[in-house]
Structure 1
Amino acid sequence: MKSVLIIGLGRFGHHLCIDMANRGNEVMVIDKDEKKTPDLLEYATAVRVGDCTNEEVLRSLGVGNFDLCFVCIGSNFQSSLEITSLVKELGAKHVVSKANRDIHAKFLLRNGADEVFYPDRDIAERLAVKYSANHVFDYFELSKDYSIFEIQPKAAWIGRTIEEADIRANYHINVFGIKKNTEVVVLPRADYVMHEKDHLLVVGLTKDIDRLLASIK
């Protein structure tokens, strides 16, 4: 369990609060608009109303006591930058700030953010990858070069074991899971026989997985 402070209650801040609370974390939320706070009372440990560009408001929260501080302000970059900087100056252990553009991310990182996230860009990229290829069910980027894909097996693999298909040697990727309807087989054995309706969870260099996808008919 972690103690979490969420500053800014737009759509993303709301979802983050609910998801964090449902995972057993202690969550405090704050927004300057009182209308955005009531529906989170059942999830958050504490709900506050205040303008976090005011240093005294932030100081009263005791930001240094939280394991994580999220700055989820997307509509006003100046406010996001000021709050990120103030939160770090007041002793926040780890600050994660929302960015809408690369230039915003650079300024946030220079002014106190330990990490930045791009929810709109990340979702758009994930959807673009998923729907651009006929054989991709889901996709997750691990880094600039590595990704996880949920794909269908090649026709030539059906009825063969993972070892027989020699996927690692031929494509330099690893099969770390098999989805069968709602069941997931984690780290399947080399003698697992692949079926037509299986979904393979593969990890590797994105360029290698793209090469595999291009070969699936």
Structure 2
Amino acid sequence: MKSFLIIGMGAFGRHLALKMSNLNNDVMIVDKDAAIIDEMSSMITDAQIGDCTKEDVLRALGINNFDICFVTIGDTFQSSLEITSLLKDLGAKYVISKASRDIQAKFLLKNGADEVVYPDKDMAEKLAVRCSSNNVLDFFSINSEYSLYETPVKHNWVGFSIEEVNVRKRFHINILLIKNGDSIMTLPKADYIFKEDDHVIVIGKPEDVLKITENA
């Protein structure tokens, strides 16, 4: 079990707090809005009302006791920047701050954030990729070059082995996992024969992966 501090109970902060709590972590949430804290207090380990732009408020939380501190302020970037900086000054082990633009991420990283997340941007990218192809079921970006995709097996692969299809050489992708109903096979061998209802989880560059999803 890990210990997390989540500052800012906008939509992203709330979803994050509830998921972290459901995963049996020790979670403290903080927000200036008493109504939000009252609403969530029964679902979270600890909930506090407070303005975290004030150093004394943060200091009272015992910042260095948390494994990760999240700054998920959604309304004012200035507050997010101030809180991020104060957290590091007070000895936070690891700070993850929310940003909506690259310029915000740049300032957050310069002012103490160990990591910056773009929930709106990431969701928009994921939705765009999934909706651009009828056959992308899920998508996860690893870096600027490579991503993971889940897609139904191509019809013309069914009955042939991974080696016979020559997936890596012809399509420049690697198959990491094959799902069929509740059955999961990780790192399938070259002699695996594709079945009608298989889903493949592959890693590759978007332009290569999207080729195999066309007319899957």
TM-score by length of 2: 0.94
Q: How does 1:137-156 map to 2 (within 5 A)?
A: 137-156=137-156
- In the superposition, relative to structure 1, how do residues 39 and 188 fare at CA in structure 2: closer, same or farther (>3 Å)? farther
2:29 is paired with a residue whose SS is strand
**TM-superposition CA deviations, 1:160-200 (whole Å, max 9, x none):** 11122111122221111112234432222322221232211
Amino acid at match of 1:67: D
Look up the match of 1:32: 32
Q: Say whether the 8 Å CA contact 2:133–2:210 is kept in structure 1.
A: no
Provide the C-alpha distance between the structure 1 equivalents of 2:36 and 2:182, rounded to a whole number of angstroms. 36
Deviation at 1:95, TM superposition (A): 0.3
Provide the C-alpha distance between the structure 2 equivalents of 1:182 and 1:76, rounded to a whole number of angstroms. 45
Provide the C-alpha distance between the structure 2 equivalents of 1:148 and 1:120, rounded to a whole number of angstroms. 19
Q: Which ranges in structure 2 are unaligned for 5 or more consecutive residues? A: none
Look up the match of 2:200: 200
Look up the match of 1:55: 55
Provide the C-alpha distance between the structure 2 equivalents of 1:167 and 1:133, rounded to a whole number of angstroms. 20
**Percent identity of paired positions between Structure 1 and Structure 2:** 52
Look up the match of 1:16: 16
Deviation at 1:152, TM superposition (A): 2.1
| Bigger mean CA deviation after superposition, 38-47 or 14-23 | 38-47
Q: Say whether the 8 Å CA contact 1:17–1:43 is kept in structure 2.
A: no
Deviation at 1:133, TM superposition (A): 1.2
Provide the C-alpha distance between the structure 2 equivalents of 1:43 and 1:86, rounded to a whole number of angstroms. 27
1:42 is paired with a residue whose SS is helix
Provide the C-alpha distance between the structure 1 equivalents of 2:159 and 2:42, rounded to a whole number of angstroms. 50
Deviation at 1:115, TM superposition (A): 0.6
Aligned: 1:189 with 2:175: no
Q: Which ranges in structure 1 are unaligned for 5 or more consecutive residues? A: none
Deviation at 1:24, TM superposition (A): 1.7
Look up the match of 2:3: 3
2:47 is paired with a residue whose SS is strand
| Bigger mean CA deviation after superposition, 115-124 or 150-159 | 150-159
Aligned: 1:107 with 2:107: yes
Provide the C-alpha distance between the structure 2 equivalents of 1:60 and 1:133, rounded to a whole number of angstroms. 50
TM-score by length of 1: 0.93
Q: Say whether the 8 Å CA contact 1:59–1:90 is kept in structure 2.
A: yes
Q: Say whether the 8 Å CA contact 1:85–1:113 is kept in structure 2.
A: yes
Runs of 4+ in structure 1 over 3 Å off: 210-214
Provide the C-alpha distance between the structure 2 equivalents of 1:187 and 1:43, rounded to a whole number of angstroms. 39
